[in-house]
Amino acid sequence: MAVTAALALSIASPAWAQVLTDEQRSAAKTANADPALAPDLLLSAKDMAWWRDAKLGIFVHWGLYAIPGKGEWHMFNDKVPAAEYAKLSQQFNPRHYDARAWARLAHEAGARYMVMTARHHDGFSLFRSPSSYGGYDSVRSAAQRDLVADFVTAVRGEGLRVGLYYSPMDWRFPGYFQPKELPDNAQLMKRQTYGQIEELMRNYGRIDILWWDGGWLAHKGTDADAAGFWESDKLNRMVRRYQPKAVINPRSGWQGDFDVAEGGSPITGPIRARPWEKTFSINRSAWGFTPDKNTLGADEVIVLLVNAVVRNGNVLANVSPDPDGRIPADQAKTLHGVGEWLKRHGRAIYGTRPGPLQPVDNVHGSTQSGDSVFLHILSWPDEALTVPITGPVHDVVNLSGAEVTWRKEPNGIRIMVPPASRGAAVTIVEVKGGNAVR
């Protein structure tokens, strides 16, 4: 059978692959998508509004790679032959998988959407997939069920928006690594992508987000460089047929409805014009499960969230469930910390738009909503901060502590918050009526 032949071929790993770190590899994929390619598929500002209001989503990287616990790149990094790796599917029996518990946790974290890896680069599908090459899906694994179906129902039931991650490329195909030399095999992989995307977009009701990843070829160049191979305009046109309102990211080579910035590095610079999303893993070691508890704390996530939101961005924070389907307790703790913080500061985050002040890296940024400006203060150069807000301010409220004093000055307003009334990670001050800037 063709499947066996393909699986038997070992993965060719080019020499350069070993010298790049995961972070560098991600950076190398940054889209340089052609804005002239299928602009008619872009969502309207109205259809994007819920996503821009939502600000926080939870990403879930889960699959066979949870079992060895070496991260989702294990198969490629450790050169595990596809047939050998595939044996994991007969061990994959996540008895504690409870999608409702995941969705509840995301809700408690203050997230408004959740995105799950329906299929990662290893090729194993977490859903019933007749189009899967070699029948490599969770229904035919020890789990014997459609894990995506449970996820979609649970997330919707919790009142959150539903997102699915899908990697067009699949390491099981030698044609992925050598598309020129093995064009037929590469076409087989492409056919699988079209078939599986049709399944995902057709069989699970409304899908709010389609999160592509890994559109590039042979781990070279960018996603956009491979747009011709995937015919990503055609691919996303099919998506739109089933899901006319899905928010689509740019990682299939088509420009997508928003930009993606990947990894946990600090966020700096001015407000970005295009909606964008910072995505990083709360498990510092990998996106997929690793047992080492190398976990970001709530304050670190909050700083990333604030720095994204003041620059027109969202955050998609990833968790890594274990082989049994449980989100590790330390990751859940971080999410609960973020949720507690959002209960108190949500007014300055959800539904806001950036500005009116440009952010000053590591010092402050701002959001606005209605007649209020929210200052997100990350550090205090002095005992006070003066910002160039000159509107008819009628009140200033400290969301992070008891005290705040302020006064108008010729060049703006001077705000003083004593150290005991500052937040641990960030102090948020609401300037009512301040929505006018010099």
Site for ligand GLC in 190-219 (CB under 6 A): 213-214
Shortest Cβ 290–ligand GLC spacing (Å):
13
- Residues with Cβ within 8 Å of 421's Cβ and at least 6 positions away in sequence, in order, are 398, 400, 401, 402, 403, 404, 427
Q: How far is the CB of 282 from ligand GLC (least distance, A)?
A: 13
Task: Show contacts with ligand GLC in window 30-69 (CB under 6 A).
Answer: 61
CB of 26 to ligand GLC, least distance (A): 5
> Three-state SS for 212?
strand
Query: Of 276, 287, 289, 406, which lies in the binding site for ligand GLC, with binding defined by CB under 6 A?
Result: 287
> Of these, 13, 26, 187, 358, which contacts ligand GLC (CB under 6 A)?
26
Report d(CA 203, CA 210) in Å as an integer: 14
What token pair was written down for 182?
Answer: 């093995």
Which residues between 121 and 180 bind ligand GLC (CB under 6 A)? none
Asked if 166 contacts 210 with a C-beta cutoff of 8 angstroms, the reply is yes
Nearer to ligand GLC, 192 or 279 (CB): 279
Closest approach of ligand GLC to the CB of residue 263, in Å = 8
Q: Whose CA is closest to 163, among 191, 196, 200?
A: 200
279 binds ligand GLC (CB under 6 A): yes
Q: Does residue number 262 form part of the binding site for ligand GLC (CB under 6 A)? A: yes
Nearer to ligand GLC, 158 or 213 (CB): 213
Q: Which of 11, 63, 72, 75 binds ligand GLC (CB under 6 A)?
A: 72
Which residue's CB is nearer to ligand GLC, number 25 or number 145?
A: 25
Which lies closer to ligand GLC via its Cβ, residue 214 or residue 434?
214
Torsion region of 193: left, alpha or beta (phi above 0 gives left; psi -120 to 50 gives alpha): alpha
Residue 340 tokens, joined: 């507690």
Is 259 a binder of ligand GLC (CB under 6 A)?
no
Spell 150-164 as b/e; 16+ CB within 10 A means b. Answer: bbbbbbbebebbbbb
H helices of 275-430, where?
Answer: 298-309, 329-345
Minimum gap (Å) between residue 343 Cβ and ligand GLC: 28
What is the spatial distance between Cα 23 and Cα 280, in angstroms, rounded to a whole number?
Answer: 11
Q: Please tell me the distance from the alpha carbon of residue 257 to that of residue 437, in angstroms, as a whole number.
A: 30
CB of 61 to ligand GLC, least distance (A): 6
Residues that bind ligand GLC (CB under 6 A): 26, 61, 72-73, 213-214, 262, 279, 287
